[in-house]
Chains A and B, each alone.
Chain A
Amino acid sequence: EVVLTQSPDFQSVTPKEKVTITCRASQSIGSSLHWYQQKPDQSPKLLIKYASQSFSGVPSRFSGSGSGTDFTLTIKSLEAEDAATYYCHQSTSLPYTFGQGTKLEIK
Chain B
Amino acid sequence: EVQLVESGGGLVQPGGSLRLSCAASGFTFSSYWMSWVRQAPGKGLEWVANIKEDGSKSYYVDSVKGRFAISRDNAKNSLYLQMNSLRAEDTAVYYCARGIIVVSYSGFAFDIWGQGTTVTVSS
Given contacts A43-B114, A49-B109, A50-B109, contact A99 B44 (CB under 8 A): yes
CA distance A2 to B8 in the complex (A): 31
Tell whether A74 is near chain B: CB-to-CB under 8 Å: no
Main secondary structure of the interface of B (DSSP, over half): strand
Chain A, Cβ-Cβ closest to B96: A43
Would you give the shortest CB distance from A24 to chain B, in whole angstroms?
16
Q: Which residues of B contact A93 (CB under 8 A)?
A: 106-107
Q: Which residues of B contact A94 (CB under 8 A)?
A: 50, 59
Given contacts A44-B45, A87-B44, contact A96 B114 (CB under 8 A): no
Main secondary structure of the interface of A (DSSP, over half): loop
Given contacts A43-B95, A97-B47, A98-B46, contact A89 B109 (CB under 8 A): yes
Number of interface residues of B (CB under 8 A): 25
Besides the known contacts A36-B45, A49-B102, A93-B106, 4 further A-B residue pairs in the complex with CB atoms under 8 A apart: A44-B45, A55-B109, A92-B107, A95-B59
Chain B residues with CB under 8 Å of chain A are 35, 37, 44-47, 50, 59-62, 95, 100, 102, 105-111, 113-116
12 A-B interface contacts by CB (under 8 A): A36-B110, A43-B95, A43-B115, A46-B111, A49-B100, A49-B102, A50-B109, A89-B110, A91-B107, A92-B106, A97-B47, A98-B46
